[in-house]
Amino acid sequence: MSLDAKIPQGPLAEKWSKHKFNLKLVNPANKRKYNIIVVGTGLAGASAAASLAELGYNVTAFCFQDSPRRAHSIAAQGGINAAKNYQNDGDSVYRLFYDTIKGGDYRAREANVHRLAEVSVNIIDQCVAQGVPFAREYGGLLDNRSFGGAQVSRTFYARGQTGQQLLLGAYSALNRQIHLGKVKMYTRHEMLDVVMIDGHAKGIVTRNMKTGEIDTHAGHAVLLCTGGYGNVFYLSTNAIGSNVTAAWRAHKRGAYFANPCYTQIHPTCIPVTGDHQSKLTLMSESLRNDGRVWAPKTVEIAKKLRNKEITAAQVKEEDRDYFLERKYPSFGNLVPRDVASRNAKEMADEGRGVGTSGFAVFLDFADAIQRLGEDTVRAKYGNLFDMYYQITDENPYKQPMRIYPAVHYTMGGLWVDYNLSTNVPGLYALGECNFSDHGANRLGASALMQGLSDGYFVIPYTLGDYLATIGPKPVDKSHPAFEQTKQDVVAYVNKLLSLKGTKTVVEYHRELGHIMWEYCGMARTEEGLIKAKGLIQELKADFWKNAIVTGENEEFNLALERAGRVADFIELGELMVTDALMRRESCGGHFRVESQTEEGEALRDDDNFAFVAAWEWKGDNQPEELHKEELVFENVKLTQRSYK
Is the separation of the CB atoms in 204 and 485 below 8 Å?
no
- Spatial distance between the Cα atoms of 392 and 93, rounded to a whole number of angstroms: 40
Pairing of strands 183-186, 58-62: parallel
Other CB atoms closer than 10 Å to residue 247's CB: what's the count?
A: 28
Element (H, E) at 218: strand 214-218
- Spatial distance between the Cα atoms of 267 and 402, rounded to a whole number of angstroms: 11
- Spatial distance between the Cα atoms of 507 and 234, rounded to a whole number of angstroms: 10
- Spatial distance between the Cα atoms of 584 and 591, rounded to a whole number of angstroms: 9
Closest CA to 147 of 402, 377, 446: 446
Active site residue 337: yes
Specify burial of residue 303 (Cβ count, 10 A radius: 0-12, 13-18, 19+): middle
Q: Label each residue of 168-182 as H, E or C.
A: HHHHHHHHHHHHHCC
**Widest CA span of the chain, in angstroms?**
75
- Spatial distance between the Cα atoms of 614 and 243, rounded to a whole number of angstroms: 20
Total count of residues recorded for the chain: 644
DSSP string, 420-479: SB-SSTTEEE-GGGB-SS-TTSPPTT-HHHHHHIIIIIIHHHHHHHHHHHH-SPPP-TTS
- Spatial distance between the Cα atoms of 259 and 279, rounded to a whole number of angstroms: 24
The letter for the amino acid at 33 is K
Three-state DSSP at 167 gives helix
The helix, strand and coil proportions of the chain, stated in percent and rounded to the nearest 5, come to 45, 15, 40
> How does 608-634 read in b/e, with b if 16+ C-beta sit within 10 Å?
ebbbbbbbbbeeeeeebeebebebeee
Element (H, E) at 559: helix 558-582
Which of 337, 342, 442, 565 does the annotation list as catalytic?
Answer: 337
- Spatial distance between the Cα atoms of 636 and 101, rounded to a whole number of angstroms: 8
- Spatial distance between the Cα atoms of 80 and 162, rounded to a whole number of angstroms: 8
CA dihedral 461, 463, 466, 471 (to 10 degrees): -100
Closest CA to 615 of 578, 569, 566, 573: 578
Q: Which strands, in side-by-side order, build the sheet including 625-630?
A: 413-414, 257-258, 611-616, 625-630
What are the catalytic residues?
337
